[in-house]
A and B are shown apart, each in its own frame.
Chain A
């Protein structure tokens, strides 16, 4: 197997992109990544997208997006793993390049969520439709049940959840691509509308349109191209039960831990060697669970870690320097690739106001549903 690098990344601004369609959003991000990489063609492409069929009534977007990107007849496929679709698309690109089957593969992600459909219903299709969503549970509701169980067992508080949102908004404030570039306080979170008790509106990531793309090449080719490469030193994925209620421990998202364990092993690293991470904070509690499963905090101490400043931009292990899903936005299929774009920017030293000093090793964690699927990638600066 060949070693693999990312040679270019690109993303659209995240937000309510009223004047851009799904195809426009993806094409903009893909062109940016192609230009950043300095490649004149791609050999194939994978697009992560959770639900274009329900959001805009369009399936078969592999073909459509290759067409609008002007790259037909290259192979183009959509990959779906709910909110982890983007990073799962990246894995397909990595495998195709590592195997030697192709040299230049585009991994993209896109979601157009603001075209008028019932997004609460659509997102809930990532849960068990027949035995969870049927009874009216929503995605905020599933994470709220994790949060309540976590609070009950470990004494995690609403203030600790709020600390995650406050930190991520402070970071997103410095990100020109973020959807909600405003600083908030704990009171902003705790006084916001209740969405699914105990989660308030500001515990939840927003509904976002956006796209992101990355160009994957063999490491040996990277030097010959314009873009500054970042090496992929681990890619891992794990699954778990589709229904939250089937898990033996409702306070743990164990697919994160399973994927992380594999990724650390593949990279030959321990958690303390990670300089920064982008984690899947679809809800504030999810980031706290991620700390515990990624080895940034002990089990049950994720809430305290959030409050301690450990993961702030100037902390020991900055998490979600981009603003995370919370402030940057969460166009579900695009999120996994946007996380990669942030880590690449940080490891290249191109993150501007939110640059982490001496960042060498970065990690991304992207999950689908209530943790039914999860990926972890580790990237190294070159």
Chain B
């Protein structure tokens, strides 16, 4: 059976704790961490915890998902800018879909993202909820 166990395990700091890498030269934050700063090409970073709140920049509601997500649809996915400037793609959950709007404030939470079928691992990660 197809399984992403090694990759999933490696990505826990990002998925579960939103750990990023802050460039020691220019201060730009990379998420996920990289080996070379995308702004100044410096190669030394410190590990930091990203802000857990942010703003919704854009979003969509997925009605035709990949099979793995078929039970969840329709569901919302958006691009969030966290308060430290980091942008990420995430599901936005626990919200009536007509309440979504560009500019709404969100908070990052910990949820189940995918299941590897009925027998494989459960894959957890970050999602967003509207804060108001």
Interface residues of A (CB under 8 A from B): 118, 120-121, 124, 128, 130-138, 140-141, 144-146, 148-149, 152, 193-199, 243-246, 250
Contact = CB atoms under 8 A, between A and B. Distances in A.
Nearest to B73: A136
11 contacts: A130-B11, A131-B89, A137-B89, A140-B60, A194-B63, A195-B64, A196-B64, A197-B61, A243-B89, A245-B79, A246-B87
Given A148-B59, A149-B58, A197-B61, A131 B66 contact: no
A195 to B, nearest CB: 5
Which of B60, B63, B64 has the largest number of chain A CB atoms within 10 A?
A: B60
Contacts of B11: 130
Interface of chain B, main secondary structure = strand
A152 B102 contact: yes
Contact of B60 (A130, A133, A148, A152): A148
A253 to B, nearest CB: 14
Nearest to B10: A130
B60 A145 contact: yes
B32 interface: yes
Given A135-B77, A135-B125, A250-B57, A196 B89 contact: no
Interface residues of B, number: 33
B79 A141 contact: no
Nearest to A133: B66
Nearest to A204: B64
Contacts, number: 99
A235 B66 CA distance: 35
A196 B91 contact: no
A197 B60 contact: yes
Given A120-B67, A196-B64, 11 more contacts: A120-B64, A124-B66, A136-B114, A137-B62, A138-B62, A144-B60, A145-B78, A243-B89, A244-B79, A245-B88, A246-B38
A136 B63 contact: no
B45 interface: no
Contact of B79 (A121, A136, A195, A250): A250
B20 to A, nearest CB: 12
A134 B62 contact: no
Which of A121, A124, A193, A196 has the largest number of chain B CB atoms within 10 A?
A: A196
Contacts of B60: 137, 140-141, 144-145, 148, 196-199
Contacts of B66: 118, 120-121, 124, 133, 136, 138
A138 B64 contact: yes
Contacts of B114: 134, 136
B57 A121 contact: no
A337 B7 CA distance: 36
Nearest to A147: B60
Nearest to A152: B102
Contacts of A197: 60-61, 63
Interface in B74-109: 75, 77-79, 87-91, 102
A149 B60 CA distance: 10
Contacts of A134: 113-114, 123, 125
A121 B58 CA distance: 22
B7 A130 contact: yes
A132 B88 CA distance: 8
B68 A145 contact: no
Contacts of B75: 136
A199 B67 CA distance: 20
B110 interface: no
Q: For the complex of A and B, list the 5 residue pairs with the smallest distance between their C-beta atoms, beginning with the closest.
A: A144-B60, A121-B66, A197-B61, A149-B58, A136-B69
